[in-house]
Chains A and B, each alone.
Chain A
Amino acid sequence: MHLVKTMKGKMLLAIIAGFFVTVIYFSLPILNIDATKEPKTFLTHSGAVIQTTGDVLDPVGYSGKPLEFDPEKYLREFSYGRISKLSDGTTLREFTIIAEDNKIMEISPGVFYNVWTFNGTVPGPTIRATEGDLIRVHFINNGQKPHTMHFHGIHKAEMDGVFESVGQGGGQFTYEFTAGPVGVHPYHCHVMPLEEHISRGLYGVYIVDPKEGRQPADEMVMVLNGFDTDFDTENNFYAANTIPFYYQHHPIQINTNELIRVYVVNILEFDQINNLHLHGNLFDYYPTGTYGIPSTYTDVVTFSQGERGIMEFNYTYPGKYLFHAHKTEFAEKGWTGLFLVKESDTSQYGVK
């Protein structure tokens, strides 16, 4: 009692009280939960139900804002170039590709990552030509680092995009070569450090059609890729066409009994392999798409870096069918999608 009466005693008590208040403040969670808030119920991408008064963390919604990159559009978009005829009758296809490396893109809901792009997107545009066409790519490097374009295929050494690095801040180069061989090929930047230049997003698909054409079909492109957002040389996100889980929430709509042709390219860095498994169906698989005879009829195909091929299939029964990496880690980190097969007599994209 004596203690409380003196000035010193009061100070001492104040110090002790202050000390314990500080301890409690840092020990207990500082939560400002509004108890009056009604909990909302959400059905998540895995089927789990979440009831919360707060926010939901789920790669579903994109907060209402449209995505900068639209996998829906990319899927069936082919770039045929500016077409003209040369004097000898050859078709000339001209493309302009601009490289940039300062773009911050939302690659998964709320996750912003510095992607390096060809024409502003990851992957870059799907360049498509017919065997024998002359391809001329006007390449402009608007980035802050040197970049190139290296096409897989047959061309002269100086068109290989390896030794002629194109300087930053507007450097230019014109790649010119004859389209070939028939198939599906990747193109990507080939400046060192290569892993960085590719994994940041400088890649795309280059399709060469046979002169006689292929059987009409509902055609689409899938680039199997991923992002290492925390720079530990392991991917944090996986996807078909950049955005994790995108096609799971926005199923790819196809028709029953219609031929589906998928050009698949695996450009995934850091992981040794990648694969693709189709549900409720099997497909003809044409490795690299160079031969007209399928190598196998299967439902799983495995890719190493740079490997690619063409899948052809059609669905008899309508409904929802998954397609995903059978390397399930990748599937759980975003490389999962859905085909929504609709019963239809009329063709949507190709011919029955």
Chain B
Amino acid sequence: MEEIKKTSKAKLIASALIPIVMLGLMIAYIFGPGSNFLGLGVALPEITIEKIEFLDSKIIATVRNTGHIDVEVVQADVNDRIQPAGIEPDKFLNRFETAKVIIPFAWNESEPYEIGLTLNDGTRFSKSVMAAVQTPEPNFELVSYFAIIGTYVGVIPVLIGLLWFPFIAKMSKSKYKFFLALTAGLLLFLGIDAIQEGLEISTTSLPGAFNGQLLVATVVVISFLGLYYSSEKLISRATSSNLTKPVAIGLMIAIGIGLHNLGEGLAIGAAVGLGEIALSTFLIVGFAIHNTTEGLAIAAPMAKGKPLIGKLVMMGMIAGTPAIFGAWIGGFVYSPFAAVVFLSIGAGAIFQVVVSILNWIRQDEEKTFSTVSVVSGFSVGMLIMYLTSIFV
């Protein structure tokens, strides 16, 4: 009996390995000695300038080899005029390797610049900056500046939104359903917004080699499934522990919004760091109005439980403070790849929350979404988000 089990296990492993071995043989045949398959087509070099920093009388460009072949960077230019430069660690870039190009240049504040790099075959790659600003260096002043922005954009609006709690707690069932649906609408909008943002960064800043659109799709789905799994776990255990079901759902919403705000903070910090926008008070007000609705989203499912002020504030912090961390990360170590990943995680998390809320709505006697309160709530939620987004 034992032996039969062993042989069947060996067979199982063998059947799993055979296709892999065959694939290996095929690759060896194609790339192996004496093969001329590689003569087909021309491999073109490609590099991507990922980041441009403006320091005292010098410009630093971070460049990555994003093509299929090794390249040599041989020349730098500013606004298409040849400039001498240093390149570290060296000018030879293997696949995905990066280097820093240091160009001594007396740049002018708030003027646009284009930085170009020429490869050994004479092709030139460039990246533009809309307005040059001194790249922030992580000092205490700037750290606190970003913290304040994050607080204004993330923490305070969410906490203000939570103040709707007593208002929602006192209303009738159908009105309550309206507000739950409204929350779902708000969140669905945020999720779509995050995906759109992620796709935009993919096309403008992410090298083609990273397949930005597919990265967004993959991370959104994984994030959705991951949070779906853990939230089911959390809610099913909620009944046995002191965590009530509304609180569990509220917590999941807070986590989802927190991930979303991390992405938002990342975008703001990066924009300030890269000099892509002048961060006006108007913009901050826009974000604040936009994010106040997020507090409502957390408050709504919890409104039918006991008013737990401590828990509410904690959830507000979970949802809001990531904006501060996002601003720090975005401002000091911005990378388009990380931005796309975080925005996608946020989107997946938010879709998961939308699903939870919809389940929550359906869990009473009517078991349907086709009521006036649900449909109108959902629509109004999306409309509110669209209108407040105009200010941002």
Q: In the complex, how many residues of chain A place their beta carbon closer than 8 angstroms to a beta carbon of chain B?
A: 45
> Chain A: which residue is nearest B233 at the CB level?
A3
A42 to B226, CA, bound (A): 54
Tell me if B102 is interfacial: C-beta within 8 Å of chain A.
yes
Instruction: Verify B83–A50 contact, CB threshold 8 A.
Output: no
Q: Which residues of A contact B222 (CB under 8 A)?
A: 19
Most chain A C-beta atoms within 10 Å of own C-beta, residue among B83, B97, B122: B122
A209 to chain B minimum Cβ distance, whole angstroms, is: 37
Which residues from chain B contact A251 at a C-beta distance below 8 Å?
Answer: none
Q: Is B85 an interface residue (CB 8 A)?
A: yes
* Pairwise interchain contact B76-A57, C-beta atoms closer than 8 A: yes
**Contact: B122 with A57, CB < 8 Å?**
no
Q: Is B88 an interface residue (CB 8 A)?
A: yes
Name the contact of B82 in the complex, choosing from A29, A107, A112, A244 (C-beta under 8 A).
A244
Taking the nearest CB of chain A, how far is it from the CB of B93, in angstroms? Answer: 10
Q: Given A57-B73, A59-B75, are A30 and B97 also a contact pair (CB < 8 Å)?
A: yes
Q: Is the CB of B89 within 8 A of A53?
A: yes
Q: Are A45 and B81 in contact (CB under 8 A)?
A: no
Cβ–Cβ < 8 Å partners of A52 in chain B = 86-88, 102
Task: Provide the residues of chain A in CB contact with B335, threshold 8 Å.
Answer: 26-28
Max count, chain B CB within 10 A of own CB: residue among A28, A45, A109, A113: A28
Chain B contact patch, size range:
35 or more
CB < 8 Å A-B pair total: 132
For residue B136, CB closer than 8 A to chain A, the reply is no
From 78 to 122 in chain B, residues with beta carbon under 8 angstroms from any chain A beta carbon are 80-91, 96-102, 104, 118, 120-122
Q: State the CA gap A42–B75 with chains docked (Å).
A: 15
Q: Which residue from A44, A55, A333 sits with its C-beta under 8 Å from B87?
A: A55
- State which residues 20-34 of A face B: CB under 8 Å: 23, 26-34
A58 an interface residue at 8 Å Cβ cutoff? yes
Specify which of B85, B86, B88, B96 is in contact with A30 (CB 8 Å cutoff): B96
Residue of A nearest to B209 (CB): A26
Which of A57, A58, A227 is close to B101, meaning CB atoms less than 8 Å apart?
A57
| Interface: B74 (CB within 8 A) | yes
Contact between chains at B91 and A29 (CB < 8 Å): no
User: Please, which residues of chain B bring their CB within 8 A of the CB of A94?
Assistant: none
Whether A14 sits at the interface, judged by CB under 8 Å, is no
Provide the residues of chain A in CB contact with B72, threshold 8 Å: 110
Which residues on the B side are within 8 Å of A109 (C-beta)?
Answer: 74-75
Other-chain residue from A28, A112, A236 in contact with B124 (beta carbon distance below 8 A)? A236
Check if B338 sits within 8 Å of A53, measured CB to CB.
no
Find out whether the CB atom of B83 lies under 8 angstroms from the CB atom of A23: no
Which residue of the partner chain A has the closest CB to B101?
Answer: A57
Residue in A28, A32, A236 whose beta carbon sits within 8 Å of that of B118 in the complex: A236
Report A-chain residues with C-beta under 8 Å of the C-beta of B97. Answer: 30
Closest B residue by C-beta to A244 = B82
Check A57 against B87 for contact (C-beta < 8 Å): yes
Contact mask for chain A residues 44-73; partner B; CB cutoff 8 A; 1 contact, 0 none: 111011111111111110000000000000
Please tell me if the beta carbons of A329 and B102 are within 8 angstroms of each other in the complex: no
Interface of A toward B, CB cutoff 8 Å: 16, 19, 23, 26-34, 42, 44-46, 48-60, 107-113, 227, 229-230, 236, 244, 329, 332-334
Given contacts A32-B89, A112-B120, 12 further A-B contacts (CB under 8 A): A26-B337, A31-B89, A46-B84, A54-B90, A55-B86, A57-B91, A58-B84, A60-B84, A109-B74, A110-B75, A229-B123, A230-B123
User: What are 8 A-B pairs at a CB distance below 8 A?
Assistant: A23-B337, A27-B338, A45-B84, A46-B84, A49-B104, A50-B85, A108-B75, A236-B124
Question: What residues make up the interface of B, taking CB atoms closer than 8 Å to A?
Answer: 50, 62, 64, 72-76, 80-91, 96-102, 104, 118, 120-124, 210, 222, 226, 333, 335, 337-338, 341
